[in-house]
Amino acid sequence: MDLSTFNQQIETLNKEVIRYQLVINQLKAILRHVARGYTCNLSSYEIDKRLTSATQSLKVVNRQIKRLESKYYAQFPLTHAQYECVGFPTGVTNLDGTDRF
């Protein structure tokens, strides 16, 4: 996966996140108005059902973002400094076999 493909997919998923957040905020506002006594064409049950659906969809999209990021960043090996930082052998050894870094 190259950088442009990764950026396009992340941008698409981020747009979905924004869309779901807007839907959730709108539904919460409608529920607040219904609680105050304002009338609405939808029942509170239907609004709650849509709110639950939008929340679940938002969770799915966030999981997709994490999965895509981990898939993209897994392509790149760690640097020697990163290996040393986490305590793994760097793979570069001295002549006697000890870890060079």
Quickly list H helices, the chain. 3-35, 44-73, 80-86
Using N-to-C axis directions, what is the helix angle for 3-35 and 44-73, rounded to 10°? 160
Sorted by where each begins, the domain ranges of the chain are 3-86
- Local confidence pLDDT in tens for the 101 residues of the chain: 788 888 899 999 999 999 999 999 998 888 887 766 666 677 778 888 889 999 999 999 999 999 998 888 778 776 666 666 665 555 556 656 565 55
User: 3-86: which CATH architecture?
Assistant: Orthogonal Bundle (1.10)
- What pLDDT score does 32 carry? 81
Is the pTM higher than 0.75? The answer reads no
